[in-house]
Amino acid sequence: MSVLLLALQAAMADSPLTLRESQTGSLAASFPGVALARDTNADGRADTLAQPGAFTVQALPTGVGVELARLYWSASRGQVGADCSGTPDNAVTLDVPGLGVQPVTASSCVCSAAGDPTYDVWSCWADVQGIVESGDIAGTYRVSDLSALVNDADGHNASAGLALWVSHPSFPTRAISLYDGLQTLQGSTSTLVPGGFEAAGTSGSVQLAVYALDGDVGSSPGEQINIETLPSGNTLGLVDASSPFNDAFNGTITTGATPSTGNVGVDLDLWDLSPAFTPGDTSVSIEVGAGSDRVWLVAEQLAVATRDPDLGTSTLTFSLLDDSDGNGEVSPADTLRFTAVLTNSGPEAATFAIVDPMPPWTAAWTLIDAGTGTNASVGNTLRVNGITLGPGQSTLVRFDLVVGTPADGTVHTDVATYTAPLEGGTSGQIVASPLTVRVDSDLDGVFDSEDLCPGGSDTVDSDGDTVPNG
């Protein structure tokens, strides 16, 4: 990281939270994290680094894609005579499940003055999508090599967290937004108003993760998180067994597989906002406040299940409808039946199209069933327009394909694309299992790629050695 960049960031001092990323699709979001310092003398202050620190990404369906992975790390650091005059530790190591220890260098770091002549607070983040998707994605991660000033003083801290977004057809459509910065709160509030969605409003459908530094066990008037959903106008103060009234930032980490308490210098909690949401709400005001206990706000991540139609659970399969030569293999002149089961698992109706190009070796094909849509196919491209599905409804689109004569061993994976519904939601693809076409051009009972005498009989012994040519 350049000296110029660090200088600019230091000059900014406090950095109010700003929208950094947003996506809508068949997504799931998590934000596990860990304290990287501990209190060994039970005075409520960090006095010893605790590294490596481990957190766990819970089990995920096979075939998930990584859409976003941001590693955050934060720490108190010594200064050299003026606020934000020091430097961050802009490099840590991340032990990734299935991949091993990887060096990580920050994409950006921000500083906030601590009101103390001996230290400032820094927070950094790095894009780690590439290394996360190169590993197992789910499993235990470990963060280490973070240098921090933790000397048993108020505000000393060290921690890390991973904002992770993954995609899979089985996930409901969610609108996810990530805000970050480094904002000091003490007798003050921070308000964000994420919007642009149409909320499903069902139980458990809205989750908020909040990553903050400092805080302590013990209530402080005004240390609260309050929300208001719009346009319904419902309000909710976020309180649970881990974070009671006026004690929102009390050293708990509840975003991971196993909630933990008694952490010092960090609070990373997951909140269920769905009790305040009415179906059709389009935004939410999130007010985070601190009383006399100072808090540094690092990030907020909101995931909202939407009312959009959801076609992500649709499937595409094939069967051998007519095995013309009776060999039990997919081979020339055979007929395959492809069936797309199109399902709307969302809470709103869907109007959309499906498109599926035939492979280049197709001898002929026929649309058998257009479901609730209308055939608009051209040439060797299947297209069915105007498919309509109510919430929870399914329909079948079926076509038969006569196999031509490609090279023996040709592998084909059929992929059909459904368009984004007119009512909202996203486009996507459904993928059939791979099929292999076997070809025996000379009809001698041996497939071409295995035939030592292509074009002729494998029973002929040309050299008289009693071994057939094939």
Mean pLDDT confidence for 425-440? 95
Task: Write phi, then psi, for 21 (nearest 5 degrees).
Answer: -145, 145
Per-residue 3-state assignment (H helix, E strand, C coil) for 224-239: CEEEEEECCCCEEECC
Q: Which residues pair with 104 in a beta bridge?
A: 92
Residue 8 has pLDDT above 60, yes or no: no
- Sorted by sequence, the CB contacts under 8 Å of residue 152 that are 6+ apart come out as 41, 43, 45, 46, 47
C-alpha dihedral, 456 to 459 to 462 to 465, nearest 10°: 150
Which pair of tokens denotes residue 325?
């030569």
Q: Are 161 and 268 in contact (CB under 8 A)?
A: yes
- Quick one: pLDDT band at residue 7, thresholds 50, 70, 90? very low
Arithmetic mean of pLDDT over the chain:
93
Structure tokens at 369: 């069933």
Report the percent of the chain where pLDDT is more than 70. 93
Of residues 453, 441, 375, 377, the one with CA closest to residue 409: 441
For residue 454, the model assigns a pLDDT of 67
pTM of the complete model: 0.80
In 3D, which of 84, 151, 158, 80 has the Cα closest to residue 115? 84
Is the pLDDT at 160 greater than 80, yes or no?
Answer: yes
Which two three-digit tokens encode residue 1? 């990281």
Q: Please, which residues bridge with residue 302 across strands?
A: 177, 208
Classify residue 230 as left (phi > 0), alpha (psi -120 to 50) or beta: beta
Reported confidence tier of residue 458, pLDDT bands at 50, 70, 90: low
Which residues share a beta bridge with 238? none
* Distance in angstroms (rounded) separating the CA atoms of residues 253 and 246: 17
Tell me the pLDDT band of 10, cut-offs 50, 70 and 90.
Answer: very low
Tell the burial category of 466 from Cβ atoms under 10 Å away from its Cβ (0-12, 13-18, 19+).
Answer: exposed
At position 107, the amino acid (one-letter code) is: S
Q: What Rg do the C-alpha atoms of the chain give, in angstroms?
A: 29
As a whole number of angstroms, the distance between CA 342 and CA 313 comes to: 8
Within 10 Å of residue 129's Cβ, how many Cβ atoms?
16
CA–CA separation, 249 and 262 (whole Å): 11
Residue range 315-439 in CATH 2.60.40.740 = yes
SS3 assignment for the chain:
CCHHHHHHHHHHCCEEEEEEEEEEEEEEEECCEEECEECCCCCCCCCEECCCEEEEECCCCCCCEEEEEEEEEEEEEECCCCCCCCCCCCEEEEEECCCEEEEEECCEEEEEEEEECCEEEEEEEEECHHHHHHCCCCEEEEEECCCCCCCCCCCCCEEEEEEEEEECCCCCEEEEEEEEEEEEECCEEEEECCECCCECCCCCCEEEEEEEEECCCCCCCCCCEEEEEECCCCEEECCCCCCCCCCCCCCCECCCCCCECCCCCEEEEEEECHHHCCCCCCEEEEEEEECCCCEEEEEEEEEEEECCCCCCCCEEEEEEEECCCCCCCECCCCEEEEEEEEECCCCCCEEEEEEEECCCCEEEEEEEECCCCEECCECCEEEEEEEEECCCCEEEEEEEEEECCCCCCEEECCEEEECCCCCCCCCEEEECCCEEECCCCCCCCCCHHHCCCCCCCCCCCCCCCCCCCC
**For residue 164, what pLDDT band results from cuts at 50, 70 and 90?**
very high
pLDDT tens digit sequence for 321-334: 999 999 999 999 99
For residues 76 and 454, which has the higher predicted lDDT (pLDDT)?
76
Q: Mean pLDDT across the stretch 423-427?
A: 88
CA angle 27, 28, 29 (to 5 degrees): 125
User: Any idea which of 1-5, 226-230, 311-315, 391-395 has the lowest mean pLDDT?
Assistant: 1-5
- Confidence check: pLDDT of 247 > 80: yes
Average pLDDT of span 70-75 = 99
Structure confidence at residue 258 (pLDDT): 87
CB 246 within 8 A of CB 223: yes
For residue 267, pLDDT beyond 90: yes
Q: Which two tokens stand for residue 190?
A: 């921070």
Task: Give residue limits of the domains in the chain.
Answer: 3-305, 315-439
Note the pLDDT of residue 395.
99
Higher pLDDT: 355 or 461? It is: 355
Looking at residue 457, what is its pLDDT?
57
